[in-house]
Structure 1
């Protein structure tokens, strides 16, 4: 591994986001300089993040946030909040219009859940 420079997590993440694979960056033998993604590819028509703010709900109860009319979910996430909160699930709705989050806490009967949907025009 002499003469090879280590890639930091930030560089790796940027490489993966911009389409430069880990193998490509590591095999070049030179310091990795990820290419920026083309501006046209980065623009998504109608891009919008919709948030369902944190609320305490019973353990394992699903919380769902939906995209506005005419938009579909293209990504999303959820956050479990509490002393020993565990995020159990984070996934799109079956109809592709929203995002679901659910969690639990070991020592409590409720958990704080926030849900985010990344929406765009279909």
Structure 2
């Protein structure tokens, strides 16, 4: 009886254009990177962004997934001189992502928020 080995790659490697290879006995089949990325993505995958905007220090910027989608992951970025990202986490209901920041010496900070949404 033959067994196939499955090589699992993180999404970051797939996004970088890595190829997925399966090995069975002596044969090797290469799957194009684009097809591998598509196959590895969860149903309804969508990257949603909330572009940079200045808000008062420590004010939350919240990004929600469209429709009935749930957040799988996300992140935020604080922009500006001496800007600090204070928090980056999902909403309590799992439908979005929150970013919080501050900027030393200023009353406001630029915050961008990103969410990976799925069905």
Query: Which 5+ residue runs of structure 1 have no aligned equivalent?
Result: 1-14, 19-34
User: More strand by proportion, 1 or 2?
Assistant: 2
Alignment pair present for 1:79 and 2:72: no
Aligned counterpart, 1:4: none
CA–CA separation in structure 1 for the residues paired with 2:117 and 2:74: 8
Give the one of 71, 83, 87 matched to 1:89: 87
Deviation of 1:43 after TM superposition, in Å, equals 2.3
TM superposition score normalised by structure 1: 0.68
Unaligned runs of 5+ in 2: 1-7, 12-18, 23-35
User: Equivalents in 2 of 1:106, 1:74: separation in Å?
Assistant: 32
What is the aligned partner in structure 2 of residue 51 from structure 1? Answer: 49
Task: Kindly report the root-mean-square deviation, in angstroms, between the aligned alpha carbons of the 2 structures.
Answer: 2.4
Identify, as 1 or 2, the structure richer in helix.
1
Aligned equivalents of 2:82, 2:49: Cα separation in 1: 23
Task: Give the C-alpha shift of residue 44 in structure 1.
Answer: 1.1
> When the two structures are aligned, how many residues end up with a matched partner?
92
Partner in structure 1 of residue 108 of structure 2: 110
Runs of 4 or more, structure 1, over 2 Å off, are 15-18, 35-41
Are positions 1:100 and 2:98 aligned together? yes
- How far the C-alpha of 1:16 sits from its partner, in A, is 7.2
Shift of 1:41: 6.2
Q: Which residue of 2 aligns with 1:27?
A: none
Distance 1:87 1:37 in 2: 39
